[in-house]
Amino acid sequence: MPLQSRFLSQLDLLSESLLRVFAKRSGEQGKKLKCITATMTDDTDVRRESLIKGLCIYLNENPDDLVQEFVDLTEATAMIAIEKTTVGIYINREAPDNGISDVGIIIEGMVILQDLDNVALATAMLFGLFYSLNMTYPSQLRYTFEVLQKVVMELHATQLSRKVQNLKTKLSM
């Protein structure tokens, strides 16, 4: 099964349903989701990134635990930030409103993959690493990765946590 194309196409397929579910959320979560979805543009990469971050928020997880954004990092500053990261995706921008200059994956304080095109691809690759190496998902992103595995990729989707089952039900309505 081609990981990248399946992940991205399934995410695109679920995008309207996810946005509909996000829009119904109220309270503090709803405000955060509105901020995330407000940043969406016609750019497919930006849309996918917003959906992934929105998914984290919807599941009461912090998107900063998955995606860390840095602006104009020096190599020394980057190494300090990377060494403190257990698992995640990093984005390096030359300026706050500038495009992405680098996207990569960090595991156990080491850059495993770099020069990836976008956050959605990095998320797919990170998921693929966890899944193929049979690694345990990080506890602070447990539900996000469960949704990616069981709802987006439809792998071993028979036993879902209550939180993921509720989301899956809402997506099918």
Whole-angstrom CA distances from 17 to 12, 24, 60, 169, 172 are 10, 11, 18, 11, 8
Provide the total of helices (H) and of strands (E) in the chain, helices listed first: 8, 4
Confidence of residue 98 (pLDDT cuts 50, 70, 90): low
The listed range with the strongest mean pLDDT (20-34, 69-83, 85-99) is 20-34
Residue range 26-46: mean pLDDT, rounded? 91
Residue range 49-80, pLDDT digits in tens: 999 999 999 999 999 999 998 887 777 777 78
Q: What is the DSSP letter of 73?
A: -
Residue range 104-127, pLDDT digits in tens: 999 999 999 999 999 999 999 999
Share of the chain above pLDDT 70, in %: 97
Distance CA 105, CA 116 (A): 9
Q: What is the DSSP letter of 141?
A: G
Whole-angstrom CA distances from 163 to 1, 143, 151 are 27, 8, 12
pLDDT for 31 beyond 90 = yes
Q: Helices 3-24 & 119-132, crossing angle to 10 degrees?
A: 110
Tokens of 151: 């709802």
Q: Which residue has the higher pLDDT, 77 or 147?
A: 147
pLDDT for 11 beyond 90 = yes
Tokens of 95: 């300026």
Beta strands in the chain (DSSP E): 67-71, 87-93, 100-107, 110-113
